[in-house]
Amino acid sequence: MSPSANPARAGADQGSDAGLTSGFDPVEDMRRQLARRGIEVAPEPAEPGRTGRFLSRSAAETWGNRERWGSGETRSPRGDDSLSTTVGGDEGWQSGSVAAESVSGEPERRAGKRRLAPGDRPDATLDQAKDACLRLLAVRARSRAELAKRLGERGFRVDIIEEALTRLSEVDLIDDAAFAHQWVHERHTYGGKGKKALQRELKEKGVDELAMESALAQVSDRAERARAAELVRRKVRTLPPGLTRDKAVRRLVGMLARRGYDQSTAFAVVNSELAGVEFAPAKSPVALADSASPPQAADDEEAARELVRRKLRGSTETDRAKLTRRLVDMLARRGYGPSVAYAVVKEELAQRDL
């Protein structure tokens, strides 16, 4: 399913600001869109004493580069949280200090109140479960596992949860493959995340292996290196003056590692981007000898070489990139710095024509 096939997004893409006003009900809007496709969903009668007012963002607004709210205020994207949907949570806010309205017949979730367990509301109906899903999907696209978890926290029975999710899957409102593709595109393009981080996030959201692999395949190794290079160039401009090259390498490699790039890619990109950058000179051997920790760089490098040679003797890997990554990771786990590890591995592989 393409992102535009999601009715929640399609309705918001028509240019109307109806979804940004305090009188907008995402469930009713979703019902109207489903009705236009020939799918009738009977409305749940409103509970006495509840207002129908609900402030929400449409799903299409989630995927854009700006965030608009009912007040007319425009906000910039929030960095890595470009897919985050609502300030303070997923439910949206009502105007003023009133908490977000919960689904009809459902206990309000307020600060300090415990979450329910599946089955805590045995009288909850299938229509109420579908309403809960529609509200969540009106905010942003979600995986099937995410919706199942949220419905369980609201006390719906397991059989009701499964039936509601199956009904929505049949009309393409739940599509883990499309969700995974959109998630990877947004988080890589706007959040600068590497494949390892994207894979971890999709696992946390319950996306299956097949859909995950298909989504991650859209980020090629070349595209990942290019995105990492952009991050490094931006970070280099903010490095403090007087920094030595080794310290700069450690900081930049650490930054990429935290964003989910593997160490071999990080080392290669950082060394390439720092090729023409001048740094403060490292301490001289005399200065190092006067310090509390005498220099052992030569011994450490020779020990690293021996480790790499020993590993190569028992390796049948012929892919240079994979072998580089494994050897550098092995040295990093043993405490070797990034510049030493990468230099030793590169030299040893060159001697073996790999």
**Does the structure show a pLDDT above 90 at 275?**
no
- Return the structure tokens found at 297: 């760089």
The percent of residues in the chain predicted with pLDDT above 70, rounded, is 64
Q: Which residue has the higher pLDDT, 201 or 78?
A: 201
User: Would you state the pLDDT for residue 186?
Assistant: 93
Task: Give the model's confidence band at 90: pLDDT under 50 very low, under 70 low, under 90 confident, else very high.
Answer: very low
User: 286 lies in a domain?
Assistant: no
Q: Are residues 132 and 200 in the same domain?
A: no
Mean pLDDT of 131-151: 93
Q: How far is CA 168 from CA 60, 134, 137, in A?
A: 19, 9, 10
User: 36 lies in a domain?
Assistant: yes
User: 278 lies in a domain?
Assistant: no
The percent of residues in the chain predicted with pLDDT above 90, rounded, is 36
125 burial level (CB within 10 Å; 0-12, 13-18, 19+)? middle
Contacts of 243 (CB under 8 A, 6+ apart): 251, 279, 280
Instruction: Yes or no: say if 183 and 201 are a contact pair by the CB < 8 Å rule.
Output: yes
Q: C-alpha angle with apex 330: 326 to 333, nearest 5 degrees?
A: 135
Mean pLDDT of 290-312: 66
Q: Are residues 207 and 232 in the same domain?
A: no
Task: Give the model's confidence band at 214: pLDDT under 50 very low, under 70 low, under 90 confident, else very high.
Answer: very high
* Total domains, the chain: 4
Q: Are residues 190 and 262 in the same domain?
A: no
**Does the structure show a pLDDT above 80 at 149?**
yes
User: 160 lies in a domain?
Assistant: yes
Helix (H) or strand (E) holding 75: strand 74-75
Query: Could you list the residue range(s) of the whole structural domain that residue 247 is in?
Result: 221-273
Q: Are residues 120 and 149 in the same domain?
A: yes
Q: Are residues 79 and 24 in the same domain?
A: yes
Instruction: Yes or no: say if 136 and 56 are a contact pair by the CB < 8 Å rule.
Output: no
Task: Give the model's confidence band at 326: pLDDT under 50 very low, under 70 low, under 90 confident, else very high.
Answer: confident
Task: Give the model's confidence band at 313: pLDDT under 50 very low, under 70 low, under 90 confident, else very high.
Answer: confident
Q: In DSSP terms, which residues pair with 67 in a beta bridge?
A: 75
CA 262, CA 104: separation in Å to the nearest integer? Answer: 47
- Return the structure tokens found at 257: 């590692």
User: 194 lies in a domain?
Assistant: yes
Q: Are residues 168 and 182 in the same domain?
A: no
Q: Are residues 234 and 182 in the same domain?
A: no
Q: Are residues 148 and 233 in the same domain?
A: no
User: 282 lies in a domain?
Assistant: no
User: 279 lies in a domain?
Assistant: no
Q: Are residues 204 and 341 in the same domain?
A: no
User: Would you state the pLDDT for residue 269?
Assistant: 94
CA 270, CA 232: separation in Å to the nearest integer? Answer: 7
Burial annotation 16-25 (CB, 10 A radius, 16+ → b, else e): eeebbeeebb
Q: Are residues 47 and 163 in the same domain?
A: yes
User: 289 lies in a domain?
Assistant: no
Task: Give the model's confidence band at 28: pLDDT under 50 very low, under 70 low, under 90 confident, else very high.
Answer: confident
Q: Are residues 166 and 265 in the same domain?
A: no
CA 238, CA 251: separation in Å to the nearest integer? Answer: 11
SS3 labels along the chain: CCHHHCHHHHHHCCCCCHHHCCCCCHHHHHHHHHHHCCCCCCCCCCCCCCCCCCCCCCHHHHHCCCEECCCCCEECCCHHHCCCCCCCCCCCCCCCCCCCCCCCCCCCCCCCCCCCCCCCCCCCCHHHHHHHHHHHHHHCCCCHHHHHHHHHHCCCCHHHHHHHHHHHHHCCCCCHHHHHHHHHHHHHHCCCCCHHHHHHHHHHCCCCHHHHHHHHCCCCHHHHHHHHHHHHHHHHCCCCCCCEHHHHHHHHHHHHHHCCCCHHHHHHHHHHHCCCCCCECCCCHHHHHCCCCCCCHHHHHHHHHHHHHHHHHCCCCCCHHHHHHHHHHHHHHCCCCHHHHHHHHHHHHHHCCC
User: Would you state the pLDDT for residue 58?
Assistant: 38
User: Would you state the pLDDT for residue 26?
Assistant: 65
Q: Are residues 26 and 116 in the same domain?
A: yes
